[in-house]
Structure 1
Amino acid sequence: MEKLIKEVRILKAYAISLTVVCILFFILAFKNQTSRQRFEEIDVERINVIEKDGTLKMVISNKKRQHPGLANHKEFKPREREAGLIFFNSLGDECGGLIYDADESGSGMVYSVDQRNTDQIMQLQYMESTGKEKNRTYGLKLWDRPDDFPLEAMIRFEDSLKKLNDPVASKKAYAKLREQGKLTNERFFAGKTANGDVGLFIKDTKGRVRLKIYVDKNNQTHIENLDENGKLIQ
């Protein structure tokens, strides 16, 4: 009987101890979930910033693990992209980013702002080639993109042309899209061109340069008004 009472006491003590340990464990676990963590230094290949519901908002990544992009919450096919930041909106679309890199042939950094449902309409960019014909351009660029031809449609169009593997048919298809006003046109550049001109270069809705206001590499000033064929209007 005494032995049985002793075993019951040991069992009670064990149960109490186990209960206390479990309570402490849950308290510490809850505390870790609700408190901020601080790190002096961290090495990471990719960070995904998400909302509480799991919606992806931003990716910080190296080149190998960079996100391929999103449209309507659907990931694009795997593709090579540079290291940097990629932003996503609550509609599940990529909406801009910052990428950069350099190698033996050149260097570059680009900050892009994307139009809703499609690709970039504004970029702050720097590009430099280091070959025999070394050149450097940098500045702000603006584009026009149609509202009725979203990025998903453009990707399907390009994929279908790749399957055809017919350069002549591809050229005709792109020409038809341009006639329909479904292709992107550059409209504005403010910065330094590869030939050393620094100024404003404004294009019409078809991507043709119509106005130049710049200082050339010899410090000569220019204001040029051009017609649809690129000829100077006196």
Structure 2
Amino acid sequence: MATTEQLAKQIKTLKIILGVLIVIIVIFGIKLFNTGESTATELTLQRLNIVDGNGKLRMVISNKQKQHPGIIDGKTLSKRERDAGMIFFNDDGDECGGLIYSGNKKEAGMAYSVDQFKNDQIMQLQYSQDNEDKKSKSYGFKLWDRSDDFTAGRLISHFDSLNMKEGTKAYREEVARLKAKGYLGTERLFLGRNKAGQTGLFLSDGKGRLRLKIFIDSLNRPLIQTLGEKGEVISTLNGAH
């Protein structure tokens, strides 16, 4: 039977061996992450932050629960619900676009957006569907006009100063007022399939009013329509024989 002195020596030896092993593991780990020769076959995580050489955030890949709320004028926005996907950040650290997606029994969608500098999206490739009414779906390419003066940061400050709650009548009226002035962006082009089942090119004027449609309707008829300021059809060219 080993004596107390022998047991103490064995424990001391084990501690030394364990310490050496820890140092080897640490050195190996550092080498693994600092060389381009490392490989991995699988990585499981809820969120991945990509930064540049100075540690500035450039991209976030995340699930819905941990998705980044966005950064505008260098300030991180308040936590809000956002879909899973990738969010991109520019050289100044502001959000500048992304790819988001969702899907459940009620609805499904995906969108790749390109943001205007200091503002919201000006280009978007999108798909949207109401799963309770499968005929109600749209997909295609969109373009917007946005003000260079009324930036996203200014919009946030504007509503913060008014202390309005989203969804209230006063909030909706203010949104409508800003939209009428073109401060919230104006959709100018849609190329794709709309919820009416029409597939084609749809062009709007500077106030967001649909003015020209070149499309195939749900009955497979090729049509060209011009519309007035109130949405009324002014002329129709039917390409069917």
| TM-score (normalised: structure 2) | 0.80
Q: Residue 102 of structure 1 corresponds to which residue in structure 2?
A: 103
Whole-Å separation in 2 of the counterparts to 1:172 and 1:109: 29
Q: Residue 40 of structure 1 corresponds to which residue in structure 2?
A: 41
Deviation by residue 1:104-154 (Cα, 9 ceiling, x = unmatched): 111111000000001101110001111147411000011111000111111
Q: Residue 143 of structure 1 corresponds to which residue in structure 2?
A: 144
Residue 163 of structure 1 aligns to a residue whose secondary structure is: coil
Alignment CA distance shift 1:233-1:40 (3 Å): same
How many matched pairs?
Answer: 215
Is the CA contact (8 Å cut-off) linking 1:114 and 1:122 kept in structure 2?
Answer: yes
Higher Rg: 1
Q: Residue 74 of structure 2 corresponds to which residue in structure 1?
A: 73
After TM superposition, list the pairs within 5 Å mapping 1:105-116 onto structure 2.
Answer: 105-116=106-117
Q: Residue 192 of structure 2 corresponds to which residue in structure 1?
A: 191
Whole-Å separation in 1 of the counterparts to 2:61 and 2:31: 27
Is the CA contact (8 Å cut-off) linking 2:105 and 2:131 kept in structure 1?
Answer: yes
Whole-Å separation in 1 of the counterparts to 2:70 and 2:117: 14
After TM superposition, list the pairs within 5 Å mapping 1:212-231 onto structure 2.
Answer: 212-231=213-232
Is the CA contact (8 Å cut-off) linking 2:164 and 2:170 kept in structure 1?
Answer: no
Deviation by residue 1:176-212 (Cα, 9 ceiling, x = unmatched): 4245432211110000011110000000000001100
TM-align CA RMSD: 2.6
Give percent identity, aligned residues only: 45
Alignment CA distance shift 1:114-1:134 (3 Å): same
Gaps of at least 5 residues in structure 1 are: 1-16
Residue 131 of structure 1 aligns to a residue whose secondary structure is: coil
Give, as a single letter, the amino acid of the residue that structure 2 aligns with 1:123. Q
Gaps of at least 5 residues in structure 2 are: 1-15, 236-241
Alignment CA distance shift 1:84-1:138 (3 Å): same
Runs of 4+ displaced beyond 6 Å:
24-27
| TM-score (normalised: structure 1) | 0.82
